[in-house]
């Protein structure tokens, strides 16, 4: 049995060996040293002073290390009050726990920063504790100089009315139930009751939409969650057997979120050289290399197969004089009408 009497010679031996050890500043090396100490001398609890001497760091740092080993590496550490010190309740292999490379830590920094942009959503409420744990673990494993998160700036993701209903609609999708709700369009004060068999929830430009099959009208409909009257939402016991729906296929040939009845068209766009470089680097719509018609020092011309809708018109209008629609004529007319109406605002 370990007693206070045999602690003194043990400490002399321990301090003799530790005095010859190099200073352990790296956190991972320090954790390995603590783990080795607790594994090798399981019958002799190690005090905070012992471990601080071993690693040549402050006792407060050792306490942080112990907390990290328990909380994030599941080390079986217990504290003995008599004699005082930390010990393992069973052999523990630290190498078998998660080992992260610098690349892993950088990726986790980015992931945590990304998730934090959406922490206001009720849908992610249950994840906040998990994200906080990951954040603390990553911060512990890296120095403040390596905190990449402080150097990553995201576009602000504001709270949007209707985001609180995302989880409810997802549950209805999982249960395959028809939902009923009142919806009010932006262009009217009149509300209308709808029944919808929801397929997917889609986010676009910081707004949430539900896309589903409307059994009463036998067609696909899209509703903005911010226009749904909250107290009217009901998950009914009704179900239905709608036509097969593939969200990726449905939205692949269009920008934005809407119910699309028209087929995709071939459109030809002529970009200035500079805007063409931007488009190639970050296209607002996917294209293949064979779709490039002209690529010179003066012009970048490309053919896209896409559904012509308001979102496309808005995107082209945003690019101003750096893009010209070559065809089809219908899109040319829509875009020029948009510009004329905008110009009319300043007459």
The answer on pLDDT for 276 being more than 90 is yes
pLDDT digits (tens, 9 = 90+) for 317-337: 999 999 999 999 999 999 999
Mean pLDDT of all residues in 303-319: 95
- Is residue 243 within a helix (H) or strand (E), and if so which, with residue range? none
Q: Name the pLDDT band for 51 (thresholds 50, 70, 90).
A: very high
Residues 208 and 277 in one domain: no
Count the domains in the chain: 4
Residues 92 and 108 in one domain: no
Residue 276 belongs to domain spanning: 265-344
Whose tokens are 């009010």? That residue is: 184
CA 13 – CA 94 distance, rounded (Å): 25
User: What CATH number is attached to the domain comprising 212?
Assistant: 2.30.30
Residue 145 lies in a domain: yes
- Global pTM reads 0.60
Residue 88 lies in a domain: yes
**Range name among 60-64, 107-111, 247-251, 291-295 with the lowest pLDDT average:** 107-111
pLDDT digits (tens, 9 = 90+) for 225-242: 999 998 899 999 998 899
Residues 197 and 236 in one domain: yes
Q: Which of 77, 96, 115 is the last residue of a domain?
A: 96
pLDDT digits (tens, 9 = 90+) for 120-178: 666 666 666 666 666 666 665 555 545 555 665 656 666 678 888 888 999 999 999 99
Neighbours of 266 (CB within 10 A): 11
pLDDT digits (tens, 9 = 90+) for 15-37: 444 444 444 457 888 998 998 89
pLDDT at 101 (0 to 100) = 64
CA 17 – CA 2 distance, rounded (Å): 20
Residues 282 and 247 in one domain: no
> Are the C-beta atoms of residues 322 and 269 closer than 8 Å to each other?
no
The answer on pLDDT for 252 being more than 80 is yes
pLDDT at 2 (0 to 100) = 41
CA 124 – CA 320 distance, rounded (Å): 38
């Amino acid at each position: 049995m370990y007693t206070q009497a045999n602690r003194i010679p043990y400490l002399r031996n321990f301090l003799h060996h530790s005095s010859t050890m190099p200073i352990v500043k790296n956190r991972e090396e320090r954790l390995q040293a603590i783990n080795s100490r607790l594994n090798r001398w399981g019958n002799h609890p190690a005090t905070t002073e012992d471990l601080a001497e071993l690693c040549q760091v402050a006792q407060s740092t050792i306490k942080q290390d112990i907390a990290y080993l328990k909380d994030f590496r599941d080390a079986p550490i217990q504290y003995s009050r008599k004699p005082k010190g930390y010990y393992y309740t069973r052999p523990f292999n630290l190498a078998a726990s998660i080992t992260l490379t610098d690349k892993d830590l950088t990726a986790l920094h980015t992931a945590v920063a990304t998730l934090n942009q959406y922490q206001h959503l009720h849908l992610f409420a249950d994840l906040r504790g998990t994200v906080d744990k990951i954040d603390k673990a990553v911060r512990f494993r890296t120095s403040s100089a390596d905190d990449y998160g402080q150097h990553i700036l995201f576009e602000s993701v504001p709270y949007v009315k209707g985001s609180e209903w995302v989880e409810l609609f997802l549950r209805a999708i999982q249960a395959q139930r028809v939902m009923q709700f009142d919806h009010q369009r932006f262009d009217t004060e009149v509300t209308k009751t709808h029944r919808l068999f929801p397929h997917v929830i889609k986010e676009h430009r910081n707004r949430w939409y539900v896309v589903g099959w409307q059994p009463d009208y036998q067609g696909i409909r899209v509703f903005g969650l911010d226009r749904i009257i909250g107290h009217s939402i009901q998950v009914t016991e009704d179900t239905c057997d709608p036509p097969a729906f593939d969200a990726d296929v449905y939205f692949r040939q269009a920008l934005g979120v809407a119910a699309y009845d028209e087929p995709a068209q071939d459109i030809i766009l002529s970009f200035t050289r500079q805007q063409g470089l931007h488009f190639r680097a970050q296209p607002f719509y996917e294209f293949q290399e064979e779709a490039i018609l002209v690529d010179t020092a003066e012009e970048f011309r490309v053919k896209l197969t896409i559904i012509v809708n308001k979102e496309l018109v808005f995107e082209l209008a945003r690019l101003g004089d750096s893009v010209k629609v070559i065809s089809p004529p219908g899109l040319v007319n829509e875009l020029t009408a948009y510009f004329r109406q905008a110009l009319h605002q300043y007459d």
